[in-house]
A and B are shown apart, each in its own frame.
Chain A
Amino acid sequence: MFSYYMNLALRSLKHNPVLTVLMVLAIAVGIGASMTTLTVMHLLSGDPLPGKSTHLFYAQVHSDPDKHRDPLDMLDYRSAVDLWSAHRADRQTLIVDSAIKVRAPDKNLPPLMLQMLSTTTDFFPMFSVPFQYGRSWSADDDARHARVAVISSDLNDRLFNGADSVGQTLRLGDSDVRIVGVLAPWRPSPLFYDVRGGRFAAGDTASFYTAPQDVFTPFNTGLEINDGNFQQFTCWRVPETPGHLENSACVWIGLWVQLDNNAKVAAYRQFLADYAAQQKSLGRFEYTDTRLLSLMQWLDFNHVVPSDVRLQTWLAFAFLIICLFNTISLLLAKFLRRAGEIGVRRALGASRSAVFAQCLVEAGLIGLLGGIGGWLLTLIGLWLIRRQPIAYADLVHLDTGMFVLTFVLAIAASLLAGVLPALRASRVMPALQLKTL
């Protein structure tokens, strides 16, 4: 009977094209608006490292002696180096971000002001960073402050036209480093390892979705090369030399650890607690609060999805509901205008459930057409977002899952909208209709 109902639905839609267009438009506009915002929401709230994120943790201790508050979002230099050097995790990496002037001495190109990440060798395997050429530096390079660097695919394109630049020299500030690796295109969403301070951002967290840094150097190499150019997250005393934070009362370094099972997570938590207690006994810490959050917990803690995106999503769904109410009214009008035909069908043997099913198939077909319209409007909406000056603009696209969801949502919404009109249509009194025909 489904094909029969489909055939009847097609005839019915063709019979009254204006009403059909209105209903399809109502669904399409609602779906377009909600799928545009939902797609952005989906892209911004997804797991940046599926399958691996559950093993990655962000370590925090409370190094501020003056105020009793949550553990700070970053570590002071000594705590960071102490915890990293202990090598209590399966993998661990320090990170600190800074701006630096970059140029290729062999190229006649103007210098670029770029972001550099000073980190340790585990950074690359921990975060599954893909390489196009070469490889990361070694632990030995970390230890001896080797003048080496890994550069992004984008920077490699700009400086070396995408050619294999491994072995080439790059000037960072006033220092030359040798390129040992070039990343393949890599665009985590959000830039999870650099997320911090989200709960103080009042929902303005779009900056968490910027592209990764263009230059990666060994941790100590970066500190030496760019000394005086580092930004603190917060300080409890003003640093003696601005930008030189190694012995300052400031937090400015992140520590990520990889812990491959629950026992290791528990052991690392204990290690952090023991470290805090030890530092308190040494008089360096006042408080012993520590925190170890998994990657997704850390993103959640920092409210990474911008509040305006959340708001837009809610508004779009409210708009979809309004569109659905319009669709309900139009379907009701459409079905009840056919009360005479329904009466005839009932007289000829159609049960209430058959009439209900016929009406619902028609509503579903409207949903399918609305889904096609909604998909096109979603593509337009996402195209418009890509033209906005926002950090995540380049990330916005419709993936297969969201494409399928567009149609599922459109059909589900129209079926939902069709239930009441179909129910009313199926309750049409055939005798009354036949008498009045």
Chain B
Amino acid sequence: MLKMTHLSKIYRTEVVETYALRDFSVNVEEGEFVAVMGPSGSGKTTFLTIAGLLESFDGGEYRLDGEDVSKLNDNARSKIRNEKIGFVFQSFNLIPDLNVFDNVDVPLRYRGFKARERAQRIHDALETVGLVSRMKHLPAQLSGGQQQRVAIARALAGSPRLLLADEPTGNLDSLMARQVLDLIESINDHGTTVVMVTHDPELARRAHRSVHVLDGQVMDLQAVSESSKDETPARA
């Protein structure tokens, strides 16, 4: 599903070049749930933004769903983001002026679905996260956990093949965090590939395997469950 080979990302200023990712290689198979761990500044989020086609890279190769994405223009990248990728952010990133329905509607609008199909998908996604009754609420009227569930519904509504989550429970208390993670697990159970950046080893243990990033490089790959170890050879 997601394969990066010897990828590098450099942030340049007039006087200094900083490698955010260096010789970064990782392979995530379809249907996997991979946790990406590492200390602050190690390059986890840079990896996630490149994986989500939100940022370009300087060297190496990145194939998403078998397609080399390095040469794609903005429209093509946007289309892939819209159709194949769902994002869940630590700070939810809901649009405060839009109610729950309209927030979930955002990616569907860019997809060009008709109103009836959009409404059905929004309803289904909100049903999945248990927030149909809050459809008309503004984000500010919801708790943190509810906001994150709306963000997950927004990511799910377009039926993405890949869900990228950046510290999805980072702003939640433990109860809410567990609920959100249950939800992500359930999404993965339905076949969606999940890549989740986290600091929390407890959360990472619930993934099929973990990728450790340090100084912009993949340091280790650990299978976290016997079953996944059997089914998925370790790669980095």
Contacts and interface: CB of A to CB of B under 8 A. Distances in A.
A349 B97 contact: no
Interface string A344-372: 11111111111000000000000000000
B5 interface: no
A345 B154 CA distance: 11
Interface in B40-95: 45-46, 49, 52, 54-55, 74-75, 78-79, 81-83, 87, 89, 91, 93-95
Interface stretch (A115-123, A289-297, A428-436): A428-436
A18 interface: no
B155 to A, nearest CB: 8
25 contacts: A12-B97, A341-B95, A343-B93, A344-B95, A345-B95, A345-B106, A347-B54, A347-B87, A348-B81, A348-B82, A348-B106, A348-B110, A349-B78, A349-B110, A349-B158, A350-B78, A351-B75, A351-B110, A352-B78, A353-B75, A434-B49, A434-B87, A434-B89, A434-B166, A437-B93
A430 B87 CA distance: 12
> How many of chain B's residues touch chain A, expressed as a range?
20 to 34
A282 interface: no
Given A431-B54, A431-B55, A437-B91, A349 B49 contact: no
A58 to B, nearest CB: 62
Interface of B: 45-46, 49, 52, 54-55, 74-75, 78-79, 81-83, 87, 89, 91, 93-95, 97-98, 106-107, 109-111, 154, 158, 166
A4 B74 CA distance: 21
Given A1-B109, A4-B109, A347-B81, A434 B97 contact: no
A434 B109 contact: no
A354 B93 CA distance: 19
Nearest to A11: B97
Given A344-B95, A435-B45, A350 B89 contact: no
Contacts of B87: 347-348, 434
A348 B104 CA distance: 10
> How many of chain A's residues touch chain B, expressed as a range?
20 to 34
B95 A351 contact: no
B20 to A, nearest CB: 11
Contacts of A343: 93
Nearest to A14: B97
Contact of A15 (B46, B74, B81, B97): B97
Main DSSP-derived SS at the B contact region: helix
Given A345-B95, A435-B49, 12 more contacts: A341-B95, A343-B93, A345-B110, A348-B81, A348-B154, A349-B81, A349-B83, A349-B158, A429-B55, A430-B54, A434-B87, A437-B89
A236 B91 CA distance: 92
Contacts, number: 73
Interface string A2-27: 00100000011001000000000000
B74 A352 contact: yes
A354 B83 CA distance: 16
Main DSSP-derived SS at the A contact region: helix
Contacts of B54: 346-347, 430-431, 434
A365 B71 CA distance: 36
A344 B49 CA distance: 12
Nearest to A352: B74
Contacts of A345: 95, 106, 110
Contacts of A350: 78, 82, 110
B24 to A, nearest CB: 16
Residue picked from A11, A341, A344, A346, most chain B C-beta under 10 Å: A344
Contacts of A430: 49, 54-55
Interface in A210-250: none
Contacts of A1: 109
A280 to B, nearest CB: 78
A354 B49 contact: no
B52 A347 contact: yes
Residue picked from A346, A347, A348, most chain B C-beta under 10 Å: A348
Contact of A346 (B78, B95, B111): B78
A-B pairs with the 9 shortest C-beta distances? A349-B82, A351-B78, A431-B49, A348-B107, A349-B110, A431-B55, A431-B54, A430-B54, A344-B93
A345 B95 CA distance: 9
B11 to A, nearest CB: 11
A184 B99 CA distance: 64
A352 B52 CA distance: 16
A346 B46 CA distance: 16
A349 B111 contact: yes
Nearest to A1: B109
A344 B87 CA distance: 9
A354 B110 contact: yes
Nearest to A435: B45
Contacts of B89: 434, 437
A12 B46 CA distance: 31
Contacts of A4: 109
A11 B81 CA distance: 26
Nearest to B81: A349
Nearest to B107: A348
Nearest to A4: B109
B162 to A, nearest CB: 13
Contacts of B98: 11
B107 A349 contact: yes
Contacts of A344: 93-95, 106
Interface string A374-397: 000000000000000000000000
Contacts of B75: 351, 353
Nearest to B50: A431
B74 A349 contact: no
Residue picked from A345, A346, A351, most chain B C-beta under 10 Å: A351
Nearest to B87: A347
Contacts of A435: 45, 49
Residue picked from A341, A343, A349, A351, most chain B C-beta under 10 Å: A349
